Amino acid sequence: MNKLSPEELNQSHQDPNHWIWGIFYFNKQDHRLLPPKRNPWMGWTVNFANPKSILLLLAMIVFCSAIVYFAKSK
């Protein structure tokens, strides 16, 4: 596992080659689950190169869908 320094992580995050279509973050060296978006004031995004990030995204979708389903069933 290749740990990046905070400076390298920031440079890597700003690299346009790690952003697919400018909105999907894909960086195998970045092990954060939810890195900040290109504009940090907009929140966080998913690192689609990290399988744990994708599982977290799917878990959030299932959780929100379950809440909506059970709220409508009452």
Q: pLDDT tens digit string along 28-52?
A: 888 888 888 888 788 899 999 999 9
pTM above 0.85, yes or no: no
Token pair 């939810």 in the structure block, residue = 34
pLDDT exceeds cutoff 80 at 1? no
The CA distance from 55 to 48, in Å, is 10
Main-chain dihedrals φ then ψ at residue 40, nearest 5 degrees: -55, -25
**Reported confidence tier of residue 55, pLDDT bands at 50, 70, 90:** very high
- Rounded to the nearest 5 degrees, what angle is found at the Cα of 70, between the Cα atoms of 68 and 73? 110
pLDDT exceeds cutoff 70 at 24? yes
pLDDT score recorded for residue 15 = 84
pLDDT score recorded for residue 38 = 83
- Helix (H/G/I), strand (E/B), else coil: 47: strand
